[in-house]
Structure 1
Amino acid sequence: MKKSTMILLLALLVVAVIFGMQAARNNTLEQEKNDALTELSNVQAELNTTSEQLAETTAARDQVTADLQMLKAEHELLSKGKEGLATQLTQANNVVTALTEERVTLAGQIEEANKQVADLTLQLTAADQAIAMLTANQEGIEATLEAANIKNGHDLDTRIRQLIADKNAAEEALAKAEGELTALRAELATMEEKLQLALSGGGDVTVLHTNDVHARVVSGGQNQIGYTKLGTIVEQAREAGGTLLLDAGDTLHGMAIAGATQGQSVVDLMNMLGYDAMTPGNHDFNYGYERLKELEKSMDFALVNANILLEDGSHAFTPYVVLEVSGRKVAVVGAANPQMQSAIHPDQIKGLTFAGLDKINEAVESARQEADAVIILAHWGSSDAYDPNSSVLAQIPGVNLVVDGHSHTAFADIKQVEGAALVVSAGQHLEYVGRVQLAFDAEGGVTATADPIAFEDTVDIPVNQAIEDAIIDLENTMSEVLGEVVGKTEVLLDGERENVRTRETNLGNLAADALLKATAADFAFTNGGGIRRSIATGDITRKDVVEVFPFGNSVLVLEVTGVQLLAAMEHGLRQYPEQSGGFPQIAGGTLVFSAANEPGNRVMEFTIAGKPVDSAATYQVATNDFLAAGGDGFDMLKDCPVLGYLGTLDEILGKHITALGTITLTEEQRIVEAFPVEETPEATEAVEASEATESEAQDASATSPETETEAEPEAETETESTPAPTQAA
Structure 2
Amino acid sequence: MGSFVDTAAAAAEVGKICNAHNSIDIDFTVLLTHIGFEEDRHLARQLDPAWGVDLIIGGHSHTLPEHAVEENGVVIAQAGTGTDQIGRFDIIVDTDNNCIDSYTWHTVSITAETCPRNPAMEQVLHRFTSQVDEKYSHIVARFRRELTHPERTRETELGNLFADIFTRSLGIDIMLIGSGSIRAEKLGPIVTYGDLIEGFPYDDGVFMFKVTGQQLRQMLHYMLREEAYTGHTEFYQLPSTLRLRYDRAKGDFDYFTYCGKEVGKEISDDALFTVGLQNYHFKNIESFFNISYDTICKLQKPRSVATSCQDILMEYFREHEMLDAAVDGRMTILPSTAQTG
Residue type of the alignment partner of 2:223? G
How far apart, in 2, do the equivalents of 1:662 and 1:637 lie?
A: 40
- Is structure 2 residue 293 aligned with structure 1 residue 638? yes
Offset, 1:635: 4.1
How far apart, in 1, do the equivalents of 2:134 and 2:200 lie?
A: 19
How far apart, in 2, do the equivalents of 1:605 and 1:475 lie?
A: 50
Residues 603 and 521 (structure 1), Cα distance of their counterparts in 2 relative to 1, 3 Å cut: farther
Q: Assess if the C-alpha contact under 8 Å between 1:577 and 1:595 holds in 2.
A: no
Residue type of the alignment partner of 1:585? Q
Matching residue of 1:629: 283
Residues 479 and 561 (structure 1), Cα distance of their counterparts in 2 relative to 1, 3 Å cut: farther
Residues 636 and 489 (structure 1), Cα distance of their counterparts in 2 relative to 1, 3 Å cut: same
User: What's the RMSD between the two structures over aligned residues?
Assistant: 3.2
Compute the TM-score of the two structures, normalised by the length of structure 2.
Answer: 0.54
Residue type of the alignment partner of 1:616? D
Residue type of the alignment partner of 2:317? I
How far apart, in 2, do the equivalents of 1:681 and 1:617 lie?
A: 35
Q: Assess if the C-alpha contact under 8 Å between 1:528 and 1:581 holds in 2.
A: no
Q: Assess if the C-alpha contact under 8 Å between 1:558 and 1:621 holds in 2.
A: yes
Match of 2:305, SS?
strand
Matching residue of 2:141: 487
Spell out the pairing of 1:502-517 with structure 2 (5 A cutoff): 502-517=153-168
Residues 671 and 622 (structure 1), Cα distance of their counterparts in 2 relative to 1, 3 Å cut: same
Q: Assess if the C-alpha contact under 8 Å between 1:523 and 1:622 holds in 2.
A: yes
Matching residue of 2:269: 615
Offset, 1:221: 4.9
Offset, 1:620: 0.8
Matching residue of 2:312: 652
How far apart, in 1, do the equivalents of 2:218 and 2:211 lie?
A: 11
Match of residue 242, structure 2, among 589, 603, 606: 589
Residues 473 and 590 (structure 1), Cα distance of their counterparts in 2 relative to 1, 3 Å cut: farther
Instruction: Indicate the structure whose relative CO is greater, using CA pairs within 8 Å and at least 6 residues apart.
Output: 2
Spell out the pairing of 1:338-417 with structure 2 (5 A cutoff): none
- Is structure 2 residue 230 aligned with structure 1 residue 578? yes
Residues 557 and 479 (structure 1), Cα distance of their counterparts in 2 relative to 1, 3 Å cut: farther
More helix per residue: 1
1:582-626 deviation per Cα after TM superposition (whole angstroms, max 9, x unaligned)? 22211121111111123xx44642324223222223211122112
- Is structure 2 residue 217 aligned with structure 1 residue 563? no
How far apart, in 1, do the equivalents of 2:266 and 2:340 lie?
A: 37
Q: Assess if the C-alpha contact under 8 Å between 2:207 and 2:305 holds in 1.
A: yes
Match of residue 201, structure 2, among 543, 550, 563: 550
Offset, 1:506: 0.7
How far apart, in 1, do the equivalents of 2:202 and 2:128 lie?
A: 18
Match of 1:557, SS?
strand
Offset, 1:662: 1.0
- Please identify runs of 4+ aligned residues in structure 1 that moved more than 6 A: 472-476
Work out which of the two has the higher radius of gyration on C-alpha atoms and give 1 or 2: 1
Residue type of the alignment partner of 2:291? M
How far apart, in 2, do the equivalents of 1:679 and 1:546 lie?
A: 39
Residue type of the alignment partner of 1:508? G
How far apart, in 2, do the equivalents of 1:658 and 1:544 lie?
A: 16
Q: Assess if the C-alpha contact under 8 Å between 1:560 and 1:637 holds in 2.
A: no
Offset, 1:504: 0.5
Residues 616 and 538 (structure 1), Cα distance of their counterparts in 2 relative to 1, 3 Å cut: closer
Residues 477 and 638 (structure 1), Cα distance of their counterparts in 2 relative to 1, 3 Å cut: farther
Q: Assess if the C-alpha contact under 8 Å between 2:243 and 2:330 holds in 1.
A: yes
How far apart, in 1, do the equivalents of 2:213 and 2:324 lie?
A: 32
How far apart, in 2, do the equivalents of 1:543 and 1:679 lie?
A: 42
How far apart, in 1, do the equivalents of 2:230 and 2:33 lie?
A: 28
Q: Assess if the C-alpha contact under 8 Å between 2:249 and 2:337 holds in 1.
A: no
1:377-402 deviation per Cα after TM superposition (whole angstroms, max 9, x unaligned)? xxxxxxxxxxxxxxxxxxxxxxxxxx
- Is structure 2 residue 193 aligned with structure 1 residue 539? no
Residue type of the alignment partner of 2:173? D
More strand per residue: 2
Match of 1:491, SS?
coil
Aligned length: 211
Offset, 1:658: 3.0
Residues 637 and 591 (structure 1), Cα distance of their counterparts in 2 relative to 1, 3 Å cut: farther
How far apart, in 2, do the equivalents of 1:474 and 1:646 lie?
A: 32
Offset, 1:547: 1.4
Q: Assess if the C-alpha contact under 8 Å between 1:509 and 1:667 holds in 2.
A: yes
How far apart, in 1, do the equivalents of 2:248 and 2:218 lie?
A: 16
How far apart, in 2, do the equivalents of 1:581 and 1:473 lie?
A: 43
Offset, 1:477: 3.7
Spell out the pairing of 1:431-510 with structure 2 (5 A cutoff): 477-496=131-150, 499=151, 501-510=152-161
How far apart, in 2, do the equivalents of 1:572 and 1:475 lie?
A: 43
Match of 1:662, SS?
coil
Residue type of the alignment partner of 1:627? H
How far apart, in 1, do the equivalents of 2:329 and 2:139 lie?
A: 30
Query: Identity of aligned pairs, percent?
Result: 21
How far apart, in 2, do the equivalents of 1:516 and 1:473 lie?
A: 41
1:533-559 deviation per Cα after TM superposition (whole angstroms, max 9, x unaligned)? 133443101111111221222122212
How far apart, in 2, do the equivalents of 1:560 and 1:474 lie?
A: 48
1:221-243 deviation per Cα after TM superposition (whole angstroms, max 9, x unaligned)? 549xxxxxxxxxxxxxxxxxxxx
1:477-521 deviation per Cα after TM superposition (whole angstroms, max 9, x unaligned)? 45421222111123222123xx2x221011000110111011111
How far apart, in 2, do the equivalents of 1:652 and 1:525 lie?
A: 15
- Is structure 2 residue 338 aligned with structure 1 residue 665? no
How far apart, in 1, do the equivalents of 2:327 and 2:288 lie?
A: 27
In structure 2, stretches of 5+ residues that fail to align are 1-30, 35-125
How far apart, in 2, do the equivalents of 1:481 and 1:645 lie?
A: 27
Residues 473 and 512 (structure 1), Cα distance of their counterparts in 2 relative to 1, 3 Å cut: farther
Matching residue of 2:103: none
Matching residue of 1:524: 175
Residues 492 and 476 (structure 1), Cα distance of their counterparts in 2 relative to 1, 3 Å cut: same
Residues 476 and 617 (structure 1), Cα distance of their counterparts in 2 relative to 1, 3 Å cut: farther
